[in-house]
Amino acid sequence: MNDTDATILEISGLSKSFGKYTVLTDVNYSLRKGEIAAIIGPNGAGKTTFFNLITGYHHVDGGTIRFEGREITDWPRHRIARAGISRAFQVSNIYPRLTTYENVRQAILAQEKRTLDIFTPANGLARQSTLELLELTGLLPNRDTVAGILSQGDKKKLELALALAGKPELLLLDEPTAGMSSEETHETMDLVKRLNAQIGLTILFTEHDISVIFGYARKLSVLYQGVLIAEGTPEEVRKSEEAQRCYLGEEV
């Protein structure tokens, strides 16, 4: 049974403005299941807003978002998360006063729908899965550290762990390797690539690091001033005139 050609995300005519400032204009985007895709663009191009609209952080002004065939355009955030879209934030959005262990456990308990339980002591629950996820993301040594004082790179790992805990079908990563050393970067992206291969997790990420884009993304889109100006494999995009003119020309 082969559903790798199924479209997991279908976005059409997406627009968003904040007051007089238009961030996204009529963006069309689609993603196939099992794809690893990236979006690049200069700061302010609208990448984070794009993610925000998909995950329900903001309301869309125009356009539709379909996920696995269902329209999720106006769904509340928690419902979108439950539907299978998880997100790792650009600025770490973790639980600063809980330990790393508690952070991950919380996300796992939420995914397992155990959070309405008022009778069972939480301390014994989800031990196995929490430790597994901690190990997967390289956080095991820091599990008892209060998350607020983790290093920048570790916080990013925790971001990823929290997103993965939701057992998503689609994983949105907002600059997942920012602040990481070259070694950590490869660790993280290799993990992401492995998950994609093993369980068919669809990945969409934004990045500024070109080597990461070319090393891991199979599809690349360029967002510039709220408009998608180029799309294709990384090589195709690199060669495209528009991209070079607007963005890549400055980088490469």
Q: Which of these ranges, 27-35, 144-152, 217-225, 233-241, lies near another protein under the rule CB under 8 A?
A: 144-152
Does 139 bind another protein (CB under 8 A)? Our answer is no
Please name the residue that has the structure tokens 């969409």. Answer: 204
Instruction: Give me the sign of the Cα torsion angle 169, 51, 225, 212.
Output: negative
User: What are the structure tokens assigned to 106, written together?
Assistant: 């919380």
The 106-125 contact track toward another protein, x by CB under 8 A, reads xx-xxx--xxxxxxxxxx-x
Residue 142 is given by DSSP the state G
Residue 118 is given by DSSP the state -
Q: Would you call 172 helix, strand, or coil by DSSP?
A: strand
The strand pair at 21-32 and 36-40 is best described as unpaired
Q: Specify the residue, 118 or 252, whose C-beta has the smaller distance to another protein.
A: 118
Q: Specify the residue, 13 or 148, whose C-beta has the smaller distance to another protein.
A: 148
49-88: contacts with another protein (CB under 8 A): 55, 76-79, 81-82, 86-87
* 178 contacts 185 by C-beta, under 8 angstroms: no
166-195: contacts with another protein (CB under 8 A): 166
Q: Specify the residue, 51 or 247, whose C-beta has the smaller distance to another protein.
A: 51
The 209-238 contact track toward another protein, x by CB under 8 A, reads ------------------------------
Does 1 bind another protein (CB under 8 A)? Our answer is no
Q: Which of these ranges, 105-113, 134-142, 202-210, 242-250, lies near another protein under the rule CB under 8 A?
A: 105-113
Q: How far is the CB of 47 from another protein (least distance, A)?
A: 17
Q: How far is the CB of 222 from another protein (least distance, A)?
A: 27
Does 102 bind another protein (CB under 8 A)? Our answer is yes
User: What are the structure tokens assigned to 132, written together?
Assistant: 């597994």
CA–CA dist 126, 149 (Å, integer): 24
Instruction: Give me the sign of the Cα torsion angle 173, 178, 179, 181.
Output: positive
Q: What are phi and psi of 133, to 5 degrees?
A: -65, -35
CA–CA dist 90, 162 (Å, integer): 13
Q: How far is the CB of 114 from another protein (least distance, A)?
A: 5
Q: How many residues bind another protein (CB under 8 A)?
A: 40
Does 44 bind another protein (CB under 8 A)? Our answer is no
Rg (CA), the chain: 18
Q: Specify the residue, 9 or 164, whose C-beta has the smaller distance to another protein.
A: 164
203 beta partners: 36, 171
User: What are the structure tokens assigned to 84, written together?
Assistant: 């299978």
Interface residues with another protein (CB under 8 A) are: 55, 76-79, 81-82, 86-87, 93-99, 102, 105-107, 109-111, 114-123, 125, 144, 146-147, 162, 165-166
